[in-house]
Amino acid sequence: MNYEIKGGSFPVVICNLENGEKMITEKGSMVWMSPNMQMQTHGGGLGRMFSKAFTGESMFQNTYTASGAGMIAFGSSFPGQIKAVTIAPGQEMIVQKSAFLASEAGVQLSLHFRKNLGAGLFGGEGFIMQRLSGSGTAFVEIDGSLIEYDLKPGQKIVVDTGNVAGFSVGVQMEIQQVPGVKNVLLGGEGLFNTVLTGPGRVWLQTMPISNVAASIRPYIPTGNNG
């Protein structure tokens, strides 16, 4: 499989497959494909389907298989970027649960529960994230632009709620309360920040969809117009 990412604010990734190669997606993100791509929908077992329902995700997964050389494109659902990442043993990634777009069939997608309950309650994306393991290329969606940092052992970075797009498995995540009553009440930065501690790579996104929704909410009419 080889690929090309195109587009501006709403990018697509175009994947060119050899005969028999497969791509998977869980969000119905296919936007166009050659007619020789065969789709199969499956649930991955009762336990897996239940866990997906628990997180609000689709309970089903689509697998596209090329019959001969084929092409398939997957599109983003929000203005931002598509990031290609190579997954291999020891190179696993933890991403926000809405980030996964598509991947080669060798990539495994599973739930990742944050051990810190505070992180779950106040971390901005709930207490469940996604773990990408196995081997192959995966494509993830980033809200806005992507900023990457490589943290050394013990090195920390403090991140505003919702701006964490993902991190490698060696990174530790915890929630830190904003100090000072005046800062909390008047600072406009919320009650909590996320603290990421190395070693490992951190992905930060500049425009989380939760912030966009909060910004436009005051301008949405309420009540009956008639």
Confidence category of residue 126, pLDDT binned at 50, 70, 90? very low
Confidence category of residue 168, pLDDT binned at 50, 70, 90? very high
Element (H, E) at 17: strand 12-17
Which residue range(s) make up the domain with 6?
2-219
> Residue 128: how many CB atoms within 10 A of its CB?
17
pLDDT of 85-112, one tens digit each? Answer: 999 999 999 998 788 999 999 999 888 7
CATH number of domain containing 25: 3.60.160.10
pLDDT of 44-81, one tens digit each? Answer: 544 454 455 544 455 678 999 999 999 999 998 888 99
Residue 109 is predicted with a pLDDT of 87
Residue 60 lies in a domain: yes
**Prediction pTM value:** 0.80
pLDDT of 172-190, one tens digit each? Answer: 988 777 665 444 444 445 5
Residue 108 lies in a domain: yes
Q: How many domains does the chain have?
A: 1
